[in-house]
Chains A and B, each alone.
Chain A
Amino acid sequence: MRSTRRQISATGRLVGVLTALALLGLAACREPLEPPIGAAHPGETTPRRGGKLRLASIGDLRGALDPATSAEALGRGAIEIMFAGLVDYDEAAHVVPDLASRWELSDDGLSYRFFLREGARFHDGEEVTADDVRRSIERALHPSTPNPWASLYDMIAGYDEYTQKGAAHLAGVVVEGRYVVSIHLHDKDARFLPVLALPTLRPVCKSAGERYSDSWAPCGAGPFRLEAGGWDHGRSLTLVRHEGYFRPGLPYLDAVQWTYGMNMMTERFKLEAGDLDIVRDISQADVVRFQTDQRWNPLSVFEPVRSIYGESMNTEMPPFDNVEVRRAVAAAINREHYREVRPSAVTISNQAIPPAVPGYDPTFRGQEYDYPAALEHMRKAGYPYDPATGRGGYPGEITYYAYRPGLQEYTAQLLQQDLAKIGLQLTIKLVSFPTFVALAYRRKTTQISNPGWTEDYPDPSDFFDPLFDSSAINEDQSQNSAFYRNPRLDEILARARHELDETRRFALYGEANRIVCDDAPWAFTHNYRFYIVHQGYVRDYRAHPVWPENVGKTWLDRAADAVSSTSPGAAASWASLTGALSRPSGRRASH
C-alpha cells in the first residue's frame, strides 16, 4: 500500500515536472521578438564605406561559381556581383548598359554593336577588352561546357555551326576594335537583350582560358571578388570589394558573406542577436510576427513576384483532352483557399504572367473561381454532375502528382476537394522532387500536376515559350508539361519574338494570355513571394525583380558598440559563458 502511494506520488511529481517544462517551452515560443538594431546615423543619407554584410541561406551553394554553368538560384546572387556583363537589369527589370557604356542596333534589327567602357578591369587587374567578351561567349557556348542555358542563345548567328558542327568560332560574335564588339543574330529577336543580361555570357578573366574547366578560380569584373579561401564548401562564401571596379566609389561594402545550410529558426535567432544583417528564409509563423511587430515591419519587404504556379493538365490524356473539362477545373478552383495555406507568402494568380515581369496586366481578369460556370463546363464536356445527389461527373480516376516537402502537399488536398465538387475524383501521389520532375514532364504519364515556373529573365516570352508553345513539347523532359498545342498561339508567340516595338509586343502577349486562360492548359492558381527582413543599419537595400541579392549600392551604418552576441566565433561564446546569465546589453533601436 505504502509502495503504491509512493509510486503514485513519484508519478505525480514526474508529471508535474514534465508539465512545467512543457509550459516553459510554450512560454518561450511566445516570447516577443528582440528589437532590430538601428542605424548609428539615421538622418544621414550619404553612404558610408566599409563593413561586411552577412546573409544566410537555408540551402547550400553546390555548383561551381562560373557564369557559364551556374543553374542555382543561390549561386545567381553571388555570380551577379562577381561578374559584370555587357548589360544588366535595373530595378524596373529594364535592360541597361553595364560593362558596355552603350549599344547600337542596326536598322534591320539583326546586329547589336556594344561599346565597352575603357579602363574597366577584371579582378586580376587585366583590362576588359572586346577579345575577352568574344572569348567568354565562345567558352560559355562551346559544346564541351556543361551550360544549362546555352540554347537560350540560339538566336546568335552561327550558333548551330559552333555547337553542333564543330566550327572553330561563333560567327555571330565579331570583334571590331579593342573596345567594340558586335553580336549578329540570324533573325530579329526581342529576347536577345533580356537573355544577354543574364550571367551566362558575362566576361571572365583570361585565366578561365578558351574552354571550360571546373578547376578554374572564379574571376570577373564585378564589384566583388573571391579571395583564396573565400569559399568554404558547404559552409560559407565571402566576397570582398573589387577595388578596380569600373564604377567609381562603388561598392560601399567591404565584403558580403553568405552562410549556407542554416535552418529558418537559426536564421531568425541570429538576426535577433545581431549576427545576421538580412534574412530571407522565414517561416510562415515568423513572417506574421515580423509583420505585426511595429519595430521590424518598416524594415521588411516582399520581393517582387516573379513566379507562377498552376495545375497543369495534360491535354493529350483524358479527361483533360477535353477543353471543357479544363475550363471546368480553372473555374472550380477557389484560389482564396490556396492563399490561406500560407497567407503571407502566397498571392492569387489568374494569368500566365507574374506581376514583376514586364507585360503583366493587373486589370486582366483571366481565370477566376466561378462554381456555377464550372458545373456548366462539366455539362458541356459530357460529364454533368449534380452536387445535390453527388451523381454524374467523370467516371474514371485521375492521378495527381505532387512533391514534398513543399506547398503542394497542402494545395493538393484543396484541389482534390474543389474538383470533387464538380465530379472529378483525384488520387494524390506524393513523390520526391527529382521523381516529380521525371514524371510530370514525360509524355502520356501524368494527367495533372502543379508545376511552377520562376522567371529566368524578365520577359513574357520566358513564360509563354517554354510552357505553352508547341515547339517546347518533348517526349521526355517536356517543358510544355500540358503538351498543349495551339497553332494560333504558336503564331502569336513567333510574331512577339520578332517584334521589337515594346507596345505592339506586349499587346501580342496580352492576346496570348487570353488564349491560354481560355483554353486552360493550366489552371493558374497562385504566385509565391519571399519576405525579407533586415536590420535598421542596413541602408539602401531594395528588393530586385531579378536578382535575389541587390547589394551593389547597399551600405552599413552600424554603431561600433551595437549588440553582437555568440556565434560564429567561439571566443564570444566563452566570453558570454564566463560573463553572466543575463542578456548582453547594447544599442538597439526603439522605434
Chain B
Amino acid sequence: MIRLLARRLAWAVFVIWAVTSIAFVVNNVLPSDPARMIAGPQARPGDVARIRKQLGLEQPLGQQYGSFLRRLVHTGPTTVAPDDKEHANCATFGPIHLDLGRSYQQRRPVVVVLGERLPRTLWLAAAAMLAQVLLGVATGVFAAVRRNTVWDHLAVGGSLLGISAPTFLLGLGLQFLFAHELRWLPLDGYGLTFADHAVCVVLPALTLGIFGAAFYTRLVRDEMIGLMKRDYVRTARAKGLPEWKVITRHALRNALMPLVTVIGLDLGALVGGAIVTETLFRWPGIGALSVTALLDRDGPVIMGTVLLTSTAIVLSNVAVDLMYAALDPRVRK
C-alpha cells in the first residue's frame, strides 16, 4: 500500500509540473501583452514599455520560467517580517515557502488572492457535491425500482434535460424562480456571516448539483437495474427481506462503487472552480478569478489557479485510487 501511495504521489508531482509548465509556455507565447492589459488599450507605447520592464516581461522566456520555478517552492524564514521584500509574496509552511508572485492587476501576492478565494470555492464544491450525490442517487434508485414506468421516463428524461441544459440557463431559471419571483433566496453573492454563506450557497450548489446529478442518476439507475437481477439479490428477496432493505443494503451498496470514481474526479474539478456558475452567481471563488485573470492576461494569477486546479484534480485521483485499493483487495495486488 505504501509503495502504491509513493508511486501515485511521484506521478502526481510529475503531472502537476507538466501541466504548470505547459500553462506557463502557452500563457507567455500568446500574442498578447500583459503590460498592455494593465495599462489599458489606450495607453501610449512608451508607458506600456515602462510597465513591461517593471514587471520583468522583457526577460527571455527561459529566464522567466527559471525564475518562476526557483521562486515557486523555496526555503526561508519561518515568519516573514513586514519589511522583508524578498519574501513578501510567500505563503509559509515553516521554513518551506510557496511564492506564486504578485498579481499584475491586483498588485497583491497571488497566495493571498488564492487564500481568500479557496475556502469559498471549497464551500461551494462541498455543497454542490452533496446536492448532486443526494439528488443523483435518490433519483437513480427511484428510476431503477420503478423501471419502465412514467416515473422512470420522467427521471431519465429529466436527467437528459439536466445534462443537455447549459448551467447558465439552469442557474438563470433558478434565480428567476427562487430569488426574483418567490424571493426565498438571494439572487447572488456570498454574504458576510456564516448564515449568509449558508443561504447564498443554495442556488449555485443546486445549479451545479442538478447538472451533476443528471449524470449520477443515469449511472446509478443502470447499475441498479443490472444488480437487481443478480443472484444474491434474488436470494435476499427469497430470504424474506423487506424490499427497501434489499435495495439499500444489497443493490445500492454495490451500485455506488463506480460512483466513487466519478465523485473523485468531479470533486477535483469543482475545487478548480465552477467558472460559469461562480460568474453567474457572483460567487467570489477560484472559477470567477480564473476568468478575470485569463481576460486580463494576469500571468501570476493564471499560474496560481492552474497549479491549484491541477493539484486538486491530481490529488483527488490519488485519493480515488487509494480508496479503491482499500475497498477492493484485487487492486492492491
Contacts and interface: CB of A to CB of B under 8 A. Distances in A.
B288 A566 contact: no
Interface in B131-188: 148-150, 153-154, 157, 161, 172-173, 175-176, 179-188
B189 A568 contact: yes
Contacts of B46: 151
Contacts of B188: 262-263, 266, 567
Contacts of B150: 9-10, 13-14
B105 A63 contact: yes
B183 A565 contact: yes
Interface stretch (B11-19, B31-39, B59-67, B308-316): B31-39
A5 interface: no
Interface in A559-576: 565-571, 573-574, 576
Interface in A231-257: 233-235
Contacts of B193: 570
9 contacts: A71-B38, A151-B47, A234-B116, A259-B282, A261-B288, A262-B282, A567-B187, A568-B191, A571-B195
A100 to B, nearest CB: 26
B41 interface: yes
A573 B187 CA distance: 10
B38 to A, nearest CB: 7
A577 B185 contact: yes
Contacts of A565: 183
Nearest to B54: A146
Given A269-B179, A570-B195, A479 B186 contact: no
Nearest to B32: A434
Contacts of A71: 38-40, 43
A25 B173 contact: yes
B38 A144 contact: no
B54 A576 contact: no
A189 to B, nearest CB: 16
A565 B183 CA distance: 7
B289 interface: yes
B187 A266 contact: yes
Interface in B196-217: 196-200
Given A63-B106, A261-B282, A148 B40 contact: yes
A437 interface: yes
B200 A570 contact: yes
A276 B108 CA distance: 30
A569 B193 CA distance: 9
B105 A437 contact: no
Given A28-B181, A269-B179, A569 B196 contact: yes
B130 interface: no
Contact of A438 (B36, B50, B180, B198): B36
Contact of B186 (A60, A147, A432, A568): A568
Closest 4 CB pairs of A and B: A567-B186, A434-B32, A148-B39, A214-B107
B44 interface: yes
B280 interface: yes
B160 to A, nearest CB: 10
A146 B51 contact: yes
A589 interface: no
Nearest to B107: A214
Given A146-B54, A269-B179, A433-B295, 18 more contacts: A10-B150, A10-B154, A60-B292, A63-B106, A71-B38, A144-B54, A146-B51, A151-B46, A233-B106, A259-B189, A269-B175, A434-B32, A435-B31, A437-B37, A567-B188, A568-B196, A569-B191, A583-B183
Contacts, number: 189
B68 interface: no
B47 A62 contact: no
B258 interface: no
A435 B284 CA distance: 26
A11 interface: yes
A17 interface: yes
Interface in A453-492: 453-454, 456, 466, 472, 474, 476-479
B279 interface: yes
B77 interface: no
A24 to B, nearest CB: 9
A584 B102 CA distance: 47
Interface residues of A, number: 73
B196 A434 contact: no
Given A148-B51, A565-B183, A234 B153 contact: no
Given A25-B173, A437-B33, A477-B48, A148 B43 contact: yes
A581 interface: yes
Contacts of B36: 434, 437-438, 477
A192 to B, nearest CB: 17
A273 interface: yes
Contacts of B279: 261, 263
Given A63-B106, A566-B187, A570-B186, A477 B284 contact: no
A449 to B, nearest CB: 12
Contacts of B191: 568-570
Interface of B: 30-33, 36-48, 50-51, 54, 102, 105-108, 113, 116-117, 148-150, 153-154, 157, 161, 172-173, 175-176, 179-191, 193, 195-200, 279-280, 282, 284, 288-289, 292, 295-297
A3 B198 CA distance: 46
Contacts of A155: none
Contact of A456 (B42, B117, B280, B284): B42
A265 interface: yes
Given A434-B32, A437-B32, A149 B43 contact: yes
Interface string A513-545: 000000000000000000000000000000000
Contacts of B51: 146, 148
A569 B200 CA distance: 9
Contacts of A301: none
Contacts of A577: 184-185
Contacts of A453: 42
Nearest to B48: A477
B144 to A, nearest CB: 16
B47 A435 contact: no
A183 interface: no
Contacts of B33: 434, 437-438, 477
A196 interface: no
A65 B180 CA distance: 34
A278 B86 CA distance: 44
Given A570-B198, A571-B195, A234 B117 contact: yes
A264 to B, nearest CB: 11
Given A28-B181, A479-B44, A14 B199 contact: no
B85 to A, nearest CB: 10
B184 A148 contact: no
Given A269-B187, A435-B30, A10 B149 contact: yes
Interface string A132-169: 00000000000110111111100000000000000000
Contacts of A118: none
Contact of B196 (A25, A62, A478, A570): A570
Given A28-B176, A148-B47, A434 B295 contact: yes
A398 interface: no
Contact of B284 (A10, A234, A434, A474): A234
A96 interface: no
Contact of A10 (B39, B153, B195): B153
Contacts of A11: 153
Contacts of A569: 186, 191, 196
B187 A466 contact: no
Given A62-B296, A437-B36, A456-B42, A573 B105 contact: no
A576 B183 contact: yes
A245 B292 CA distance: 35
A17 B40 contact: no
A414 interface: no
A18 interface: yes
A189 B182 CA distance: 60
Contacts of B173: 25
A478 B108 CA distance: 30
